[in-house]
Amino acid sequence: MPAAKHIVYLKNEQSKIAVTSQLRAAIRAAVRAALKSEGFDYPTEVSVVLTDNEGIQALNKEYRGKDSPTDVLSFPLYGPDEDIEIPEGGRAELGDIVISLERAAVQAEEIGNTFEREIMFLCVHSVLHLLGWDHETSPEDERAMIDRQKSIMAQLDRKVKTSKA
CATH value at residue 29: 3.40.390.30
Asked if 38 and 85 touch (Cβ cutoff 8 Å), the reply is: no
- Based on the number of CB atoms within 10 Å of its own CB, is 124 exposed (0-12), middle (13-18) or buried (19 or more)? buried
Residue 77 falls within a domain, yes or no? yes
Alpha helices in 131-164 (DSSP H): 139-164
Question: In the chain, how many domains are there?
Answer: 1
Residue 20 falls within a domain, yes or no? yes
pLDDT tens-digit profile of 21-37?
999 999 999 999 999 99
Residue stretches of the chain with pLDDT short of 70 = 1-4, 160-165
Strand partners, 73: 98
Q: What is the pLDDT of residue 133?
A: 85
**Residue from 86, 165, 92, 101 nearest 127 by CA:** 92
- What is the extent of the structural domain holding 49? 6-164
Residue 1 falls within a domain, yes or no? no
Residue 120 falls within a domain, yes or no? yes
DSSP H or E stretch at residue 128: helix 115-130
- Beta strand 92-100 with 72-76 is antiparallel
**Residue from 51, 77, 60 nearest 132 by CA:** 77
Task: Please state, in angstroms and rounded to a whole number, the distance separating the CA atoms of residues 30 and 24.
Answer: 10
The span from the first CA to the last CA of the chain, in angstroms, equals 28
